[in-house]
Structure formats: structure tokens, C-alpha cells
Amino acid sequence: MATGLVEIDSATWQTVLQRDRLHDGEFVYVALTTGIYCRPSCPARHPHRRNAVLVKSVAEAERLGYAACRRCHPDCLAPAERSIRAALVYIEGRLGHTITLDALSQVSGLSPNHLHQTFQRMVGLSPKGFCDARRLARFKERLRVGESISNACYGVGYGSSRALYEKASKNLGMTPATYQRGGDGIRIRYATMGSALGRVLLASTKEGICAVLLGEDDKTLISRLRAEFPVAILTRARIAPRPWTASIESCQPEDPLLAKLPFEFRVWVFQAKVWRNLAGRNG
């Protein structure tokens, strides 16, 4: 067998048969009868296992002279991945405006229903869920630099103070006014733990989660928490509550598309998923 080619074992072949996207990027397989290499998730008809071999990377497959599949595009973003990337970029750039599924459909080139399903599958959130999380994060940023609640509210696209208090207040762990005052009088419990994206700090009040921070080390994360809530009473939990650790574990798996995006997008998606899981709980 040529250098760079590896026989596909039973477990790996099962991954191919299941078209498991979570293994895209880990390897490609080559159909020896056609000379075409594919992602594990390729929707094309599978070759017989005896006619397929594993190659560890796209670069190696190209070096060996094999051609990339035109259905799964293992050498670049697939059409559906480009569509979801376009939707993510659009949401981030338009948080101060109304964002509709129809608008995202036009940007992505997918029908509204197909967009919603594909976005949910690849991102792990609905378009609305991601938009709400990013809008809340932007709202907090504006308050921290001294904007009034009303200006910050309209500036991130809430549209009305009622929408703000319906969508933001319950996810802040406190009222917007209290957040604006740096958590004045609020007791906040926090814990740190590891994740695939780095160290994570989770914090909550008796009303619910109030911070999901990622960074390189605990010291930096705790400093950021103190800067965000300078007058709150902070207490470090000796052991992270099980719902917190369970949420971190469940939110770590990510679609291969996210690994190809700028790191900040991966962080935003991870934070949004953790926040969705924990919002409303009191740790």
C-alpha cells in the first residue's frame, strides 16, 4: 500500500457508514476505484470497504494525487457550511437591527426552514438562540462603558424596554440597573473548570447565571469577573455545582465548521450554549 494510505479499521468504517460530521477534519477516505477522497460525512454512495483506504489529511490526499469530492468538498467549506458561516457573520454585524429568518435565508441562500435546521445542527443553537445570546453580550458591553440602559437597549436591537426586560433581565442574574451599578449588593458565587477551549469561569446569583467567561488561566478570569462586578460580593465555590460541570461537558462537542471559524466565534457559540443550558437556574 502506498505511503500515506492506511487500511480502514472496523470502527473507522462505521464512522464513515454513519456519515458522522463530528469526525470531519480528523481524516479523509479514498475510493480507490475512482481516485476521489471524501469527508467521513460525505453523502455520496459508499465504496466497498475493500476499495477504500484512509488518509490522515487533505494535504496528504492531494500530495498522493487524489481528487477532492465535489459533493462533500473535503478541501474547503461545503456549500451548507458557507451558508451557515454567512448567517453567523450577518448576525454578528447586524445586532443593532431587526434580524429575521427571511433575511438570514437571503444571506445564506437556504430556504428559511432548511436554514433553521442546518443552523441548529451545525451551531447547536437556533438562529434566534444565537442572536439572543450575542445581543445580551453586546448589551452588557454597552452598559459597562457607561451607556444608559435605554440607549444600550435600542442600540443592540431590543426595540423596546419591554423586550429588554423580557429577554435580558432574566438572563443577567439581576436587573439591568443592578448590572449597570456593578452588581451593587449582589452575592455572586463562581467556579472555574477546564474545557476544550480553555479555562471557563461560571458565576451566578440567586436569580440565575450572570457570567460565562473563557480565558487562559483562573487568575485572569477572576480579575475579569471582579472588573465586571466591582461592588458585588464574590464567593468562590469549593466544588463546581454538578449542573455547571454537566453543561460544560455537554456543550464542548462542536461541529467541524466551528473549528474553521475565527476563535472568537467558537467562544461565542460555546458561551451561548452554556448560557442557554443554565439561564434561570441558581447553580
Q: Which among 69, 153, 210, 251 is annotated as catalytic?
A: 69
Exposure class string for 90-125: b at 16+ Cβ within 10 A, else e: bbeeebeeebebebbbebbebebeebbebbeebbbb
User: Is 231 in a helix, a strand, or coil?
Assistant: coil
Q: Which among 42, 131, 153, 251 is annotated as catalytic?
A: 42
Look at strands 67-68 and 36-38 and give their pairing. parallel
For 72, phi then psi, to 5°, come to: -105, -10
Q: Which among 38, 153, 210, 251 is annotated as catalytic?
A: 38
Has 251 been annotated as catalytic? no
Q: Which residue has the cell 447586524?
A: 94
* Beta carbons within 10 angstroms of residue 146's beta carbon: 9
Has 69 been annotated as catalytic? yes
In Å, how far from its chain's centre is CA 104? 18
Question: Are 118 and 80 within 8 A, CB to CB?
Answer: yes
C-alpha cell at 13: 468504517
DSSP-derived secondary structure letter, 23: G
Question: Are 271 and 208 within 8 A, CB to CB?
Answer: no
Q: Which among 72, 153, 210, 251 is annotated as catalytic?
A: 72
State the Cα–Cα distance between residues 133 and 166, nearest whole angstrom: 13
Contacts of 267 (CB under 8 A, 6+ apart): 197, 214
Catalytic residues, which ones? 38, 42, 69, 72
